[in-house]
A and B are shown apart, each in its own frame.
Chain A
Amino acid sequence: MALIEFKKLCKSYGSGDKKTVVCDNLDLSVEKGELVAIMGKSGCGKTTILNIIAGIDTYDSGEYYFDNSKVDIRTASEGVKFRRNRIGIILQHFALINDYTVYENVEIGLWESGVSRSEMKKRTLEMLDSLGIMDLKNKYPNQLSGGEKQRVAIGRAMVCKPMVLLADEPTGALDYETEAEIVELITKLNQETGTTTVIVTHDREVADKCSRTILLHKL
């Protein structure tokens, strides 16, 4: 059963002579619990697809279904509502708040989830534990290594138990060894929690760890 489904989706930027078509009648389907990699050359629309899935960007025509409901987001606030408790995002540069501790950086993911204070604490600690960074909980991001930072970012994205985890080049800023650890962690979380995961990557080895790879071509 498809959790994410694009039907003849079109997306372009600019207008007139400067118009750049990124997606043209794109059909895409991601099943529940699937671990999918999206690959392609720069500018082929990988991040745009990620943005459309997350409700960050809009599409020009076609249809986008999320969990069998049509998604047609027109405003930023609609996008925020749509993402809440549905989508977790991790980025290449981790996007952590330097003034918050590791604990707080993970906890942010629950601030708008509507759970109680005690439940928030419990889930945050569980997440830190499962990611193996419990001992770092009082440290600040600038005291962490790249791999640790990405674990914190994964924790923030996963702590609200989203239906989909979107990862944009999650290993792009990491060394080879750490990259393997992070990919293994994402794979493990996918298997353990059944969270549908979409990874945008340039790295063939990362894609090989996924159950399916979608290859995009530049139009």
Chain B
Amino acid sequence: MKILFKNIIRSVKGHPRENIIILLNMILCTMTVFVLLQNYYFLKEHFDLVYGSDQVARHYSIVMSEEDNKAMRSDLLNRSPMYYVGKDVEKDIMNTPHLELYYYTYLQVPLSSFTERENIEKYAYVDEDLKRYLERIGEESEYSFMNILTVSENCDDVFKLRILKGRFLGEEDQNTNDPDIPVPVVLGNDFAESFDIGDIIELDGDRLVVIGILEDNMYMNGWGAVEYLDNMILTLCPTIPRSFDAGIEDYDYQKLLIYQYVYCDDESVDVQKEINRITAENGYYTYEVQPIDGIEISETKDVSSKNVVLVGLLALIACIICTCSLGSVLHNRTIQDRSVYCIHLCCGTPLWKINCSITLEMILYLMISFFPTLALSIIEYGGLMVPVWQILLFSGVIVFISLMPVFRLNKDNNLDMLIRDKII
């Protein structure tokens, strides 16, 4: 073991200039690897969130032709028999194993409605488009708005929403016609400190009752976007306040499958085939189901293949540069040390111990080179976002490749070179 220790110390002290270059190379290499891995993980996390198969790959949007759409709107307005067939189709889909119909849409409510709760203002946001529209039509322009989502009662199952307090919306909350009964709502986590279960929120003469509060970071995936629910109010009611009934027809229309979504929890089920079967059995319009998933949107099954190729290419270039530079400096340093290694061979030290000491020295530098990356990550992100072993493995492979010429050179070390004065 003495040879390992002594040779490392000798080497560290004996080649200060080369060792600094080696260390800088490794720091650069580790940082490059870190940045590349970091970006990859960010990409992957975003992809999983927005397009990942666990999230949206099982969600489908229901689409129909423009002509059918018009006909169905007419059925709805006239309450023709086809309207009721549509209702049956909806029920049949809901009764089909593995299929769930769900629905969600935005309502935007003027903040003036919430003035009784001063602290609610911090959750409000300003929709500039809507403000401009209100100005154009002569309405007040100082409104801010709250986001309210009208959802179906199965959205908690479909999007795996977790409840912090109370419960999610259910069938018992469907009947919202009686103006004396407050509208049941579920609040996002941002409201958790301001409201509790049973609290009443006054809204333009209408009243909302809090029946549940979501855990934080809950979201629902739509068409390539994530709807974060922390600052949202969820309800089954189609209009808030209920006195505002301009959209009621649209709502009913939407309830007839258009703008609805199908969730299928079994990947082996052919959703289009099932929908075709149901519509055919009922003699209803034809629906097309379009998967709302990353595969459909980004034409890839994982993180965008272009990004991965780019990240991979950058990693490869960075690694080649680092490997060449590191390998070159190491090789030159080893040439300078050949006589020392020959002396060790002369004294009976096996070659593997010499190689081992060089490798251990490089591992030491690798560990040191990791600290700037660690510091950078802690300063920027408050912790290491990428698994340590991945960075070290990546850098380790580069170091190992750089060591190959050194091992090759050392293999040629022969005491005869020393004896015949070919080195000194």
Contacts and interface: CB of A to CB of B under 8 A. Distances in A.
Interface of A: 47, 50-51, 54, 56-57, 76-77, 79-81, 83-85, 89, 91-93, 95-97, 99-100, 104, 108-109, 111-113, 156, 160, 168
A91 B419 CA distance: 6
Interface in B313-371: 339-340, 342-352
B36 to A, nearest CB: 38
B419 A168 contact: yes
B419 A47 contact: yes
B424 A95 contact: yes
Given A80-B348, A112-B349, A113-B348, A95 B418 contact: yes
B421 A89 contact: no
Contacts of A81: 348, 350
A168 B415 CA distance: 12
26 contacts: A51-B415, A56-B415, A56-B419, A76-B345, A76-B351, A76-B411, A77-B350, A77-B351, A79-B415, A80-B348, A81-B348, A89-B346, A91-B419, A95-B343, A95-B424, A96-B343, A97-B340, A99-B340, A108-B343, A108-B347, A111-B2, A112-B347, A112-B349, A113-B348, A156-B347, A168-B419
Given A47-B420, A92-B421, A99-B13, A84 B346 contact: no
Contact of B347 (A47, A50, A109): A109
Contacts of A100: 6, 10
Given A56-B419, A57-B416, A95 B348 contact: no
A100 B337 CA distance: 13
B415 A54 contact: yes
Most buried by B among A76, A80, A84, A112: A80
Contact of A99 (B10, B411, B414, B415): B10
B342 to A, nearest CB: 7
Contacts of B3: 111-112
B424 A93 contact: yes
Most buried by A among B348, B350, B421: B348
B198 interface: no
Interface of B: 2-3, 6, 10, 13-14, 339-340, 342-352, 411, 414-416, 418-421, 424
Contacts of A113: 348
Given A51-B416, A51-B419, A80 B350 contact: yes
A45 B364 CA distance: 45
Given A84-B348, A93-B424, A112-B348, 7 more contacts: A47-B420, A50-B419, A76-B345, A77-B350, A80-B345, A97-B10, A97-B343
A80 B351 contact: yes
B348 A83 contact: yes
Given A56-B414, A56-B416, A80-B351, A95 B13 contact: no
Ranked nearest first, the 6 interchain pairs of A and B with the lowest CB-CB distance are A84-B348, A112-B348, A99-B10, A56-B415, A99-B14, A108-B347
A85 B349 CA distance: 11
Contacts of B10: 97, 99-100
Contacts of A80: 345, 348-351
Nearest to A94: B424
B104 to A, nearest CB: 72
A65 B378 CA distance: 66
Contacts of B351: 76-77, 80
B413 to A, nearest CB: 8
Contacts of A51: 415-416, 419
Contacts of A93: 421, 424
Contacts of B420: 47
Most buried by A among B350, B351, B415: B415
Contacts of B342: 95
A118 to B, nearest CB: 13
B4 to A, nearest CB: 10
A72 B350 CA distance: 18
A112 B352 CA distance: 13
A123 to B, nearest CB: 14
Contacts of A83: 346, 348
Contacts of A79: 415
A52 to B, nearest CB: 11
A91 B343 CA distance: 10
A100 B10 CA distance: 8
A46 B344 CA distance: 23
Contacts of A95: 339, 342-343, 346, 418, 424
Contacts of A104: 6
Contacts of B352: 77
Contacts of B419: 47, 50-51, 56, 89, 91, 168
Given A97-B343, A108-B347, A112-B348, A89 B415 contact: yes
Contacts of A168: 419
Nearest to B341: A97
Contacts of A77: 350-352
A109 B346 CA distance: 9
B349 A111 contact: yes
A104 B347 CA distance: 13
Contacts of B424: 93, 95
Contacts of B411: 76
A83 B175 CA distance: 97
A56 B343 CA distance: 13
Contacts of A56: 414-416, 419
Contacts of B416: 47, 51, 56-57
Contacts of A54: 415
Nearest to B1: A111
